[in-house]
């Protein structure tokens, strides 16, 4: 087991990892930028190291500075959290070269699954259903037009190096497609330094359902059932829940089994998420694999009782996964609301600033994962998430009632937050029926 771990992240996820380390008896070191120097979560770690100015490229994204902090503090492992360097295969490789254990999958699986064309091929080999689409990359406009005729419109052009909704274009006809093909290529080149694109049939009104997996280096792997993340706007998840209210038990089992086939095929190790699009007829298709702990991991923790961050650390230290698939049961219903500093009057733009008054909800079935408190300033330099409000109850109806009660208790003043949006959703008949898809928020609000 490790005796000391460095956390290459900030905010609520840094605090989440610090908590896991303390419970495991591991010393934690947190790195921080000058913007985060006074934050309380930094003091929760056993040690802290300033790695640079607020600008992320000079701190949380700066590999030499993070590795230097790891060397100085003599840690055995680095937990990357989510965002920043969490899915950077090069960073995982540098850690390995420096004999520091990266708490996550190997650089090879990160590279494989980060390349969406290669990941799709891997899914095909694993007999995971994929959306009808191109066999590999689409290399010319004429090639794109020919393929789209075969597949049938609408089609989607996706960047090989994209993910999470970045670098995608929908085309409804040939004229659209010719433009979309070039703009997708150009955007992908600028954003990812890789202009390769591929094509899929566009699946409209799909749900976003993802399967949590854990795998160790001894060949053991389990799934921890699914999360429904259909409640999104502009590819930003707003509310997540487990179990998914919109799939049958048969679909659920097929989905989870196929996720494990992909884990085997990609020789994946540590925590990961296999994302699917689920059409309203219950057919499901591979989306992508997220090779990190995700923001929404707590809903899975609440319904399964499994501490995912602890397992990430145990697996990285070489321990065997002692969890048995038959013992991983879904108990009740969990919902998570992301509480962001954003202004609905300003088209939900990030609205950072100082929190003067902060009262977090509590009581039975309520969990708040946050680094914020009264007197804390949400920095304009990083993402605008203040924290996550998670509820766990015996069924979905009670979970919604508890979420409404907890949202009502939550006081964050004077900054604008997504609490009112979350409350509106909790009160909406479509949400109460579980009748939602990834376009619902944009259509409804």
Residue 8 C-beta: closest distance to ligand MV4, Å = 24
φ, ψ at 323 (rounded to 5°): -65, 135
| Residue 295: cis peptide before it, omega within 30 degrees of 0 | no
3-class secondary structure, 42? helix
Q: Which residues bind ligand MV4 (CB under 6 A)?
A: 131, 156, 164-165, 200-203, 206, 208, 232, 235, 275, 277, 287-288, 438
- Residue 52 vs 162, nearer CB to ligand MV4: 162
Least Å from the CB of residue 441 to ligand MV4: 10
What's the CA gap between 428 and 204, in Å, rounded? Answer: 22
| Min dist. Cβ of residue 288 to ligand MV4 (A) | 5
When the beta carbons of 56 and 119 are compared against ligand MV4, the nearer one is 119
Half-sphere exposure of 314 (CA within 13 A, CB side): 19
Tokens of 249: 């038990």
Cβ 238 vs Cβ 339: under 8 Å: no
**Which residue pairs from 103-106 have beta carbons closer than 8 angstroms and sit at least 24 positions apart in sequence?**
103/5, 103/77, 103/78, 103/79, 103/270, 103/312, 103/313, 103/316, 104/80, 104/270, 104/271, 104/291, 104/292, 104/312, 104/316, 105/268, 105/269, 105/270, 105/272, 105/291, 106/267, 106/269
Rounded Cα distance between 80 and 10, Å, is 10
Please state, in angstroms and rounded to a whole number, the distance separating the CA atoms of residues 99 and 104. Answer: 14
State yes or no: is 125 an active-site residue. no
Q: At its nearest, how many Å lie between ligand MV4 and the CB of residue 19?
A: 29
Distance of closest approach, residue 444 Cβ to ligand MV4, in angstroms: 14
CA torsion through residues 255, 256, 257, 261, sign = positive
Catalytic member of 10, 65, 120, 292: 292
Minimum separation from the CB atom of position 285 to ligand MV4 (A) = 7
CB-based burial label for 134 (10 Å; 0-12, 13-18, 19+): buried
Cβ 202 to ligand MV4, closest distance in Å? 5
Euclidean distance between CA atoms 75 and 163, whole angstroms: 31
For the chain, give the number of residues.
445
Among residues 202, 219, 241, the alpha carbon closest in space to that of 334 is found at 241
Catalytic residue ranges:
292
């Amino acid at each position: 087991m490790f005796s000391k771990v460095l956390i290459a992240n900030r905010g609520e996820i840094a605090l989440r990892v610090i908590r896991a380390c303390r419970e495991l008896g591991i010393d934690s070191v947190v790195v921080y930028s000058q913007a985060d120097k006074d934050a309380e979560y930094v003091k929760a770690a056993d040690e802290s190291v300033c790695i640079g100015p607020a600008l992320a490229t000079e701190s949380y994204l700066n590999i030499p500075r993070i590795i230097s902090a790891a060397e100085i503090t003599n840690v055995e492992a680095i937990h990357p959290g989510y965002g920043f360097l969490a899915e950077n295969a090069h960073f995982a490789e540098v850690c390995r070269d420096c004999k520091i254990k990266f708490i996550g999958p190997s650089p090879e699986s990160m590279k494989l699954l980060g390349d969406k064309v290669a990941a799709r091929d891997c899914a095909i080999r694993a007999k995971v259903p994929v959306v009808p689409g191109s066999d590999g990359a689409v290399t010319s406009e004429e090639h794109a037009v020919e393929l789209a005729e075969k597949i049938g419109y609408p089609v989607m052009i996706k960047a090989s190096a994209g993910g999470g909704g970045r670098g995608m274009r929908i085309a409804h006809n040939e004229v659209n497609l010719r433009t979309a093909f070039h703009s997708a290529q150009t955007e992908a080149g600028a954003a990812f330094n890789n202009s390769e694109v591929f094509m899929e049939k566009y699946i409209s009104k799909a749900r976003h359902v993802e399967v949590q997996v854990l795998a160790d280096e001894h060949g053991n792997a389990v799934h921890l059932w699914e999360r429904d993340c259909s409640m999104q706007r502009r590819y930003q998840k707003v509310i997540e829940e487990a179990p998914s209210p919109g799939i049958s038990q048969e679909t659920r089992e097929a989905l989870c089994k196929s996720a494990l086939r992909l884990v085997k095929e990609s020789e994946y190790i540590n925590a990961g998420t296999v994302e699917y699009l689920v059409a309203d007829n219950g057919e499901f298709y591979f989306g992508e694999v997220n090779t990190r702990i995700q923001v929404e991991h707590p809903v899975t923790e609440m319904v399964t009782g499994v501490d995912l961050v602890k397992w990430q650390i145990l697996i990285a230290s070489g321990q065997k996964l002692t969890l048995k698939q038959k013992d991983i049961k879904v108990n009740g219903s969990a919902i998570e609301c992301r509480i962001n500093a954003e202004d609905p009057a300003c088209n939900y733009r990030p609205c950072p600033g100082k929190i003067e008054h902060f009262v977090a909800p509590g009581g039975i079935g309520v969990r708040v994962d946050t680094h914020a408190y009264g007197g804390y300033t949400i920095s304009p330099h990083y993402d605008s998430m203040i924290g996550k409000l998670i509820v766990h109850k015996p069924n979905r109806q009670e979970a919604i009632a508890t979420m409404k009660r907890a949202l009502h208790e939550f006081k964050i003043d004077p900054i604008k937050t997504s609490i009112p949006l979350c409350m509106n959703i909790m009160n909406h008949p479509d949400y109460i029926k579980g009748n939602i898809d990834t376009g619902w928020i944009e259509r409804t609000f």
